[in-house]
């Protein structure tokens, strides 16, 4: 949930009047804490320090970022926000509208960001036409990660459609292999659900439901079919799922304990860290039925206004480094995502990243199939996505009917707007 503007606005005075930090220091609040993620953010830390500035790491564990946002709001209200924070989607504009965000126009113009970033990315980074945030990468959320050996052992075909997925899951289950590795956390439930909605209804329906928040779409039979499919998923996960972190679920696929996982491409960082090769040890495929579509999640760093000019200079330098070709390459090679820049040499990247970039570019150009992730705060406000997530998780962990799920979803979205 976002803070009421009156509360946040009251904190601005305290923020700007606070004690100055050490010269040339950037304190960065983020939730990149898994193995692959930690290696990735270490790249930026090293580059900032090599530039002569100091990095103060403020990592808050929790893959969905909920805990990190709670800490950020507490710090902001007390008048002591970090110099930079990992914030995404509409939340960027809300923080900027309250006067917290620093203006990065100078850095953006000097580095020609408008020319190298696609409009779908730069629009998210701006408030009133000015850059207030920097894109770290672009994640594709609608991925399926599969262990080919597990499928072969069960005599099952790796699915490309939902119907094929249920057939394969039955064979895997009969062979004693957990069909779907899942972490029973709200944001992971929502991640699976949004891919199901994209598969069942297509990109246009996805936008009507999760971007336009259209009540007709939310109350539709298509949404009921999506809940029906989510219910089937619950029959193919293991008893240890509740509370499991996403990277632990990924390790189940890596070890062959489970056959597939529905997760964004940050999961690839875990496969890479384990020394596995795409196409051989693991497969990266669009979530069944979503080939040609791209659910995007853009990691970004918002810079908060600083009183100390030295810290502002450190912020500007970090912003410049984040969008640089060097960082975009090294970070995304480790993270599993793709660069936010469109002028990158993709030669060093693997087949998963190349496929992701091809789909991203084609959907961005055509305007078809490219949708912002609801589960990861890109399509709507935190209050609405949180309300959707609450209904999805409640459904996932109960015997609620699909008809009731649809009714509760539509009501929750309306109440959260």
In this structure, what CATH number is given to the domain that contains residue 219? 3.40.190.10
Rg (CA), the chain: 21
Rounded Cα distance between 265 and 338, Å, is 9
Q: Judge if 257 and 381 occupy the same domain.
A: yes
Q: Judge if 350 and 283 occupy the same domain.
A: no
The three-state secondary structure class of 180 is strand
Rounded Cα distance between 165 and 53, Å, is 50
Containing H/E element for 1?
Answer: none
- What per-residue string of b and e applies to 320-344 under the rule 16 or more CB within 10 Å gives b? bbbbeeebbbbbbbbbbbbbbbeeb
Crossing angle between the packed helical segments 221-234 and 382-396, to the nearest 10 degrees: 50
Q: Judge if 189 and 99 occupy the same domain.
A: no
Kindly state the DSSP code that residue 296 receives in the 8-state scheme.
E
Rounded Cα distance between 186 and 179, Å, is 20
Q: Judge if 247 and 207 occupy the same domain.
A: yes
Tell me the pTM: 0.87
Q: Judge if 256 and 232 occupy the same domain.
A: yes
* pLDDT tens track, the chain, 417 positions: 444 444 444 444 444 433 333 459 999 999 988 887 888 899 999 999 999 999 999 999 875 688 888 999 999 888 888 999 999 999 999 999 999 999 999 999 999 999 999 999 999 999 999 999 999 999 999 999 999 999 999 999 999 999 999 999 999 999 999 999 999 999 999 999 999 999 999 999 999 999 999 999 999 999 999 999 999 999 999 999 999 999 999 999 999 999 999 999 999 989 988 999 999 999 999 999 999 999 999 999 999 999 899 999 999 999 999 999 999 999 998 888 999 999 999 999 999 999 999 999 999 989 899 999 999 999 999 899 999 999 999 999 999 999 999 999 999 999 999
Q: Judge if 304 and 343 occupy the same domain.
A: yes
Q: Are 131 and 105 in contact (CB under 8 A)?
A: yes
Rounded Cα distance between 177 and 170, Å, is 10
The domain of 271 spans: 141-296+370-416
The three-state secondary structure class of 155 is coil
The three-state secondary structure class of 126 is strand
Q: Judge if 12 and 132 occupy the same domain.
A: yes
Q: Judge if 232 and 84 occupy the same domain.
A: no
């Amino acid at each position: 949930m976002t803070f009421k503007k009156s509360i946040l606005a009251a904190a601005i005075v305290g923020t700007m009047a606070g004690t100055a930090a050490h010269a040339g220091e950037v304190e960065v609040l983020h939730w990149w804490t898994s193995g692959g993620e930690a290696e990735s953010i270490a790249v930026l830390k090293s580059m900032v320090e090599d530039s002569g500035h100091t990095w103060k790491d403020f990592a808050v564990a929790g893959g969905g970022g909920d805990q990190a946002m709670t800490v950020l709001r507490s710090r902001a209200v007390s008048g002591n926000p970090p110099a930079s924070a990992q914030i995404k989607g509409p939340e960027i504009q809300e923080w900027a509208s309250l006067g917290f965000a620093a203006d990065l126009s100078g850095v953006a113009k000097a580095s020609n960001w408008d020319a190298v970033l696609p409009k779908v990315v730069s629009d998210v980074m701006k408030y009133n036409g000015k850059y207030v945030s920097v894109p770290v990468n672009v994640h594709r959320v609608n991925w399926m990660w599969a262990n080919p050996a597990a499928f072969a052992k069960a005599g099952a075909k790796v699915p490309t459609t939902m119907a094929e997925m249920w057939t394969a899951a039955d064979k895997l289950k009969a062979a004693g292999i957990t069909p779907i590795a899942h972490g029973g956390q709200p944001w992971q439930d929502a991640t699976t659900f949004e891919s199901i909605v994209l598969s069942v209804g297509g990109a246009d329906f996805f936008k009507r439901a999760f971007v336009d928040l259209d009540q007709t779409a939310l109350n539709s039979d298509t949404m009921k079919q999506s809940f029906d499919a989510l219910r089937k998923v619950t029959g193919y996960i293991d008893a240890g799922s509740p509370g499991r972190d996403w990277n632990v679920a990924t390790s189940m696929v890596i070890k062959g304990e489970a056959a597939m996982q529905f997760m964004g491409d940050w999961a690839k960082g875990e496969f890479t860290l384990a020394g596995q090769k795409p196409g051989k040890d693991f497969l990266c495929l669009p979530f069944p039925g979503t080939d040609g579509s791209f659910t995007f999640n853009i990691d970004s760093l918002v810079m908060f206004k600083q009183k100390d000019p030295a810290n502002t200079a450190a912020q500007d330098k970090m912003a410049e480094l984040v969008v640089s070709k060097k960082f975009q390459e090294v970070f995304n090679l480790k993270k599993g995502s793709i660069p936010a820049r469109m002028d990158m040499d993709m030669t060093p990247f693997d087949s998963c990243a190349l496929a992701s970039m091809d789909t991203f570019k084609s959907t961005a150009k055509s305007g078809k199939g490219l949708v912002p992730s609801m589960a990861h705060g890109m399509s709507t406000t935190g209050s609405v996505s949180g309300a959707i997530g609450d209904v999805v998780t409640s459904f996932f962990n109960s015997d609620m009917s699909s008809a009731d799920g649809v009714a509760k979803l539509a009501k929750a979205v309306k109440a959260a707007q």
